[in-house]
């Protein structure tokens, strides 16, 4: 997913439009975007909406994820929304592998549903290499607002204070063989150039896409995470030259060395082309 749009689970009007906004994924939020007193109602609204959709397998259009609450409420969320239209669940405030085991235990009748732990504390981030190997985990995400509250981190304009947590997450995902993580949201949806610059920086850190809180952010995020025609052509050329050579090392059209590491990067570019990855 290049982009994923968060939608409050208690807003049927927004859910009705969510799949047509242009994002590769939709995250129905049953947690922080919903007032605590309304979370059971949000669960019911979300489940009713999901029941009206075609199964995820074979359906074109955005993948649907649901962010569930932590603890017992989250297990009840999981039971209610474990429906064919759902690709996966984002498990808010995951602290340990046991949290995922508990949620997975509610999904025996839904073997297709993936889990994405949301790491929102110092202890969760330090345990990321273990959490990444938990049941059904296909990717992880970082909850930066809660992490900053937990640690006292205050991000400046260039967000350099978040460099280590972000790098820790991308490394943990790679080490666990998971998909590249989605980058955290930007709360400023009125400045597309600032969004583009920060998203480019996150892409350079190894993030594979970005979550959005407003439809206006989606085109910018999709643009950043879509390889250009020149990038695709170069990646295709590198792979073809390497495969034709039939050896461990060859050279590109400029005489620069091509080895397995270079080709792995090229294949990653080709896999990120919409419709191919």
**Pair 143, 119: CB distance under 8 Å:** yes
Domain 3-224: CATH class, spelled out: alpha beta
pLDDT for 247: 65
Q: Residue 141's beta-bridge partner residues?
A: 118
Mean pLDDT of the chain: 93
Q: What is the pLDDT of residues 237-275, one digit of tens each?
A: 778 777 777 767 777 777 677 777 777 777 777 777 776
pLDDT in tens, 88-142: 999 999 999 999 999 999 999 999 999 999 999 999 999 999 999 999 999 999 9
Q: Report the candidate in 1, 24, 26 with the shortest Cα–Cα distance to residue 16.
A: 26
pTM for this predicted structure: 0.88
- In this prediction, residue 275 carries a pLDDT of 64
**Cβ proximity of 39 and 2 under 8 Å:** no
Position 277 scores a pLDDT of 43
pLDDT value, residue 23? 98
Kindly list the domain boundaries of the chain, sorted by start residue: 3-224, 229-271
């Amino acid at each position: 997913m290049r982009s994923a749009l968060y939608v409050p689970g208690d807003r049927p009007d927004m859910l009705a439009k969510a799949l047509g906004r242009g994002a590769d994924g939709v995250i129905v939020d049953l947690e922080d975007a919903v007032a605590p007193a309304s979370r059971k109602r949000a669960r019911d609204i979300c489940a009713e909406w999901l029941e009206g959709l075609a199964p995820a397998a074979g359906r074109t259009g955005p993948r649907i994820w649901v962010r569930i609450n932590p603890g017992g409420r989250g297990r009840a969320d999981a039971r209610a929304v474990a429906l064919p239209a759902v690709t996966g669940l984002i498990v808010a405030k995951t602290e340990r592998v046991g949290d995922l085991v508990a949620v997975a235990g509610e999904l025996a009748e839904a073997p297709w549903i993936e889990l994405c732990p949301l790491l929102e504390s110092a202890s969760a981030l330090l345990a990321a290499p273990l959490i990444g190997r938990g049941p059904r985990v296909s990717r992880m995400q970082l909850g930066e607002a809660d992490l900053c509250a937990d640690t006292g981190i205050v991000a400046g304009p260039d967000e350099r204070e978040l460099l280590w947590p972000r790098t820790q997450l991308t490394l943990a995902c790679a080490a666990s063989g998971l998909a590249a993580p989605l980058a955290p949201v930007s709360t400023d949806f009125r400045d597309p150039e600032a969004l583009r610059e920060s998203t480019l920086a996150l892409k350079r850190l190894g993030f594979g896409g970005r979550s959005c809180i407003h439809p206006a952010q989606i085109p910018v995020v999709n643009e950043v995470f879509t390889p250009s025609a020149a990038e695709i052509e170069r990646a295709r050329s590198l792979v073809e030259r390497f495969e034709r050579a039939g050896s461990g090392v060859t050279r590109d059209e400029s005489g620069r060395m091509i080895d397995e590491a270079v080709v792995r990067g090229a294949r990653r570019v080709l896999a990120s082309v919409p419709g191919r990855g």
